[in-house]
Structure 1
Amino acid sequence: MSVLNEILSFFIKRRIERINEFMLNPHETQQEQFQSLIKKARKTEYGKRYGFSDIKNIVDFQRQVPIVAYENLYPEIERVLRGENNILWPTPIKLFSKSSGTTNAKSKYIPVSDESLESCHYKGGKDMITLYLAEHPDSGLFDGKGLSIGGSLQENPYNSRTQVGDISALIMQNLPSWAEYLRTPPLEVALMDNWEEKMSRMIDICSREKLTSILGVPTWTVVLLERILEQTGKKNLLEVWPDFELFVHGAVNFKPYRDRFQTKFFPSEQVNYLEIYNASEGYFGVQDDLGRIGEMLLMLDYGVFYEFVPMEELDKDHPKALTLDQVELDKNYALLISTNAGLWRYKIGDTVKFTSKYPYRIKISGRTKHFINAFGEELIIENAEAGITEACEATGVIIKDFTAGPCYMADDSKGGHEWIIECPQKPENSFDFAERLDASLRRLNSDYDAKRAGNLALQMPKIHFVEEGTFYNWMQKRGKLGGQNKVPRLSNNREFIDDLLEFTGLR
């Protein structure tokens, strides 16, 4: 282990004491975050409108401050984008995370304050390393470099004095010098907006580096790693990077990709996989136990106050929101956040389930608007990803991407689900794959099972297997390559399915 590795590991591990503190005192920690946020924002325009100065407790807060979606908050966000201060947060906002907006077709501009960047996003990155080193004290992570696969920066259409970009690009652009020294590729390559050119430059640079880790969305990481293997002619990536030990992933479920990483890219137990929950709006979770796949520690001292809306409450005019001490295990909640960037009781669009208390761990179960419920089946992303993973394991299929939507019969009285699945090799028996997927979904989702019984309301899934590269080319056509862009997994309408069928010539 190098001297630099020892020094950096020592300083980062000191954070573990504070992590242990909020793990032992979660409710007190969240109460402190709440009080701090309300106090600091009470003189903002939003704070005055909703009487922050009169708020004494969380009950007052929930009574006086409305739950909002991005569309509700956009008039205030637009004013901040144009350069107005003290609207949502008291300190000037100089950065905006541009989200592709997976719940609608328009981009979202999320304010990123200095406090949010430092005490949420950067703190999350340091804690990610802290928790990893706590499990792997002999790690050589800092003996090499970390590859960051991020997005790009763009001009703020309203105010040229501020920066707009993917959250990954904003983080990289503003990294401290010691952190920038440990990552690759150089900023001038990492922030390129031409995805194909960036990919080519990254392959050339990174295939010659001593790489020990990668941080990226699995979807785009797969594309990069496939091309590196193709260019180098190596059998796997450990022949390129023999000291590689960690892949940090987020944004999409890793289950459908895990087998590909473990058998093709990194066929060795020396490589570990760690999940994070880092969104445009904040850094919320880190996997603290590599044995608990899919589960993340909810980070409670990042300037974020959390609330949780039971799914049966979500569409009500005045939904009931729960605080951390009121949640139940294994129940689906829509996540609300109030942050030190001026988002107040904001519906982030994700749904989560708690897998443990003391410490509070969560898993991402889906999106509030990404589901299929055309026939009362209430299929969520968690079901879809688990079902397709089981079908792949049973049939030996390795997938790269998929999406699904409803399929209607002529009289609209019954229908089914139509799936488009990309894999390097199609299964020998497509009907067997469909049967196994259907059986898994029936076991995982009682509503789906009830609608499938006797073909009452749902027929067998209809599946199209498409050639490798289909989703990449489709996303390129839509201008959605790289960065925070994700393939939409489920949709309750046929927008994506029809577009893909037309794009591939299947319709």
Structure 2
Amino acid sequence: MGIKSFIAKPLAAFAVKQINKWKNNPLAAQKSVFSQLIRQAKGTAFGKDHAFAEINTYEDFKKKVPVADYEELRPYIDRVVNGEENVLWPGKPLYLAKTSGTTSGVKYIPISRESMPEHIKAARNALFSYIHETGKSDFIDGRLIFLQGSPVLDKKHGINTGRLSGIVANHVPSYLQKNRLPSYQTNCIEDWEEKVDAIVEETINEDMRLISGIPPWVQMYFDRLGTRSGGKKIGDIFKNFSLFVYGGVNFEPYRARLEESIGRRVDAIETYPASEGFIAFQDSQNEKGLLLLVDAGIFYEFIPSEEYFNENPSRISLEDVELNKNYAIILNTNAGLWGYSIGDTVKFVSKDPYRIVVSGRIKHYISAFGEHVICEEVEFAILSVADEEGVEITEFTVAPQVSPDGAELPYHEWYVEFARPPADMYSFSLKVDLALRKKNVYYYDLIEGKILRPLLMHELEKDAFRNYMKSQGKLGGQNKVPRLSNDRHIADELNKWIKG
């Protein structure tokens, strides 16, 4: 055991002790965060426009502050981006996190001096929680890799601007810097494929023990390591690789292929970071769900997902959430986001402590025929059947076909890239359709009522989704393929990669 791994254990015990203080008193922690946010933002332009001085309770807040997405908050954010002070939060932001929006184009999310430390603390505490529970800390003595965006930042009116992962790269704790790869020069490479090749060359002969990143891009790294090593498993290349840290997407569709690439199972920690705030992390290898961070400068609100598009949806605080119910998550943050709809849906799997699973995106659904199929349902349908039949999925997406040729009934069209395809595609697709009917009664009724025909599934060529993302300028980084679309923008592009 090295000195770093030895010291990590008492530090982890101390961190978990601090976590337990708010973990065991979550509602009090949220009440305190709420009061602090309102008090600090009273003098901002947003605080004055929404009478923060008159807000004493959450009920007051709901009357004064509407739920807003990026476009609705944009008039204030544009003022921040243009260099104006005291707009959403006191002073100017420390950073602007640059993200890609489907409807808003490039989005700029403020990160303040108060919110930036919460990102770093949450990432650190995810590792400390793992160390404290398992007693495993040897990974700290080896090499660590974080597959992330470039740390090179631009300036907009004196504010450092870049991708969240690149911003965070500038805040890796000093005690991890000597262990960390890739090098700064390699991390600055903008072209993702060139960058991955350079990372392979830098790491293939190193003692890699912790690997972190979004699963599809980690898989790309693994594929190229395998090619470079003559077909070796990742677990043979990195014999001490023991911990995979990921976030951004549901891991399950990628698990089988990643584990096959590794050649053995390794421990994993799921995190839920976003430019808007670090929301949750997996604090236990034995419990389902991610621990909601209730003392991290974010006051949470929730809207039942089925009410989200209503004119006056229910809007509740943590105190009133129910288990196993889908909610759109709404953030109020110490970077100045107010009533902000991040676009994700979550489901509580525990209230003691509050643990969540990310169930999808509020705008990623199919309801072209009134079925309102959500991401959680399509992932269950295909993964449950794939597991039964020994099929491995690389990636997939689903879109409605409203106007098929001829006299056919409309249907859901699936585009799937397989690592191990089914022996009989028609039989496989029929089983997936039946599984989806069991999960969604509206879809079931539409099939039974001959409004829709059963789904149509296409097998795509190898690397189809990577090629699609590359064609869109979204290869690598924090970019992800939506699993569901209510239109055909993605589907029509993918038609060119249908196998055969």
What TM-score results when the alignment is normalised by the length of structure 2?
0.96
Structure-1 separation of matches of 2:57 and 2:409:
49
Report the CA distance shift for 1:347/1:403 in structure 2 as closer, same or farther (over 3 A).
same
1:391 aligned residue? 385
What does 1:252-267 align with in structure 2 at a 5 Å threshold? 252-267=249-264
Distance in 1 between residues matched to 2:300 and 2:351, nearest whole Å: 15
| Counterpart Cα distance in 1 of 2:20 and 2:341 | 28
CA positional deviation for 1:335: 0.4
- Give distance in 2, aligned partners of 1:341 and 1:493: 34
Please give the alpha-carbon distance, in whole angstroms, between the structure 1 residues aligned to 2:221 and 2:473: 18
Between the aligned partners of 2:161 and 2:492, the Cα distance in structure 1 is 32
The question of whether the paired residues in 2 share the 8 Å contact of 1:413 and 1:457 is answered with: no
Partner Cα distance (1:47, 1:64) in 2: 10
Say which of 440, 443, 452 aligns to 2:447: 452
SS of the residue corresponding to residue 100 of structure 1 reads strand
Amino acid at match of 2:262: F
Contact 2:332 2:339 in 1 (8 A): yes
SS at match of 1:203: helix
Distance in 2 (CA, whole Å) between partners of 1:99 and 1:62 is 28
Report deviation, 1:190.
1.9
Q: Give 1:311's match in structure 2, choosing from 293, 305, 311.
A: 305
Matches within 5 A, 1:42-81: 42-81=42-81
The superposition leaves residues 67-126 of structure 1 with CA deviations (integer Å, 9 ceiling, x where unpaired) of 11100111211111121111001032131111122x4361211111121110x2111111
Show the counterpart of 1:226: 223
CA distance in 2, matches of 1:449, 1:111: 43
1:286 to 278, 281, 290: 281
Q: CA deviation at 1:505?
A: 6.5
2:461–2:497 contact (8 Å) kept in structure 1: no
Which residue type is aligned with residue 165 of structure 1? Answer: G
Distance in 1, Cα, partners of 2:487 & 2:302: 27
Residue number in structure 1 paired with 2:123: 125
One-letter amino acid matched to 1:116 = S
AA of the residue aligned to 1:6: F
Matched residues in 2 for 1:128 and 1:242: separation?
Answer: 23
Secondary structure of 1:386's counterpart equals helix
Question: By how many angstroms is 1:152 displaced?
Answer: 2.5
2:333 equivalent to 1:336: no
> Is the Cα contact below 8 Å between 2:8 and 2:137 reproduced in 1?
no
Tell me the SS of whatever aligns to 1:10: helix
Instruction: Give the 3 Å change call, closer, same or farther, for CA 412–190 of structure 1 in structure 2.
Output: farther
- Matched-pair contact (CA < 8 Å) for 2:460–2:499: no
Deviations 1:353-377 (A, max 9, x none): 1111110111111111000111121
Moved more, 187-196 or 460-469: 187-196
* Deviates most, 379-388 or 10-19: 10-19
Task: Give the equivalent residue in structure 2 for 1:87.
Answer: 87
- Asked if the contact 1:255/1:386 (under 8 Å) is kept, the reply is no
* Cα distance, 1:274–1:190 mapped onto 2, change above 3 Å: same
The alpha carbon displacement at 1:417 in A equals 0.6
Say whether residues 1:504 and 2:497 are aligned partners. yes
Measure the CA separation in 2 of the matches of 1:128 and 1:346.
25
Displacement after TM superposition at 1:207 (Å): 1.2
Deviation digits for residues 267-308 of structure 1 (CA, Å, limit 9, x no counterpart): 14xx10121111111111111222345x11111111000000
TM-superposed deviation, 1:319 = 2.6
Structure 2: how far apart are the matches of 1:26 and 1:117? 22
Which ranges in structure 2 are unaligned for 5 or more consecutive residues?
A: none
1:204 aligns with 2:201: yes
8 Å CA contact 1:405–1:497 kept in 2: the answer is: yes
2:7 corresponds to: 7
TM-score w.r.t. length of structure 1? 0.94
Q: Residue 238 of structure 1 corresponds to which residue in structure 2?
A: 235
Give 1:391's aligned amino acid.
Answer: V
Give 1:216 shift. 0.5
Rounded Cα–Cα distance in structure 1 between residues aligned with 2:276 and 2:428 = 38
Q: Secondary structure at the match of 1:424?
A: strand
Aligned with 2:339 (options 323, 329, 345):
345
Counterpart in 1 of 2:170? 173
- Deviation track 1:311-354 (CA, whole Å, cap 9, x = no partner) reads 23312333321111101111111100000110001000000111
Identity of aligned residues (%): 37
Larger mean Cα displacement after TM superposition, 33-42 or 7-16: 7-16
- Describe the SS at the equivalent of 1:223: helix
1:15 is paired with a residue whose SS is helix
Contact 2:144 2:211 in 1 (8 A): yes
Q: Which moved more, 1:423-432 or 1:150-159?
A: 150-159
**CA deviation vs aligned residue, 1:475-495 (integer Å, no higher than 9, x gap):** 111100111110111000111
- Count of aligned residue pairs for this structure pair: 499
Any idea what SS the aligned residue of 2:256 has?
helix
Structure 1 residues 380-389 or 149-158, which shifts more?
Answer: 149-158
Partner of residue 300 from structure 1, selected from 276, 286, 294: 294
Contact 2:12 2:129 in 1 (8 A): no
Is the Cα contact below 8 Å between 1:153 and 1:163 reproduced in 2? Answer: no
Distance 1:246 1:155 in 2: 29
The corresponding residue for 1:436 is 431
- More off after superposition, 404-413 vs 60-69: 404-413
Shift of residue 153 of structure 1? 5.2
| Residues 460 and 498 in structure 2, CA contact (< 8 A), matched pair in contact too | no
Return the alpha-carbon distance in structure 2 between the equivalents of residues 335 and 358 of structure 1: 19
Q: Is the 8 A contact 2:223 2:261 kept in 1?
A: no
Question: Aligned letter for 1:74?
Answer: R
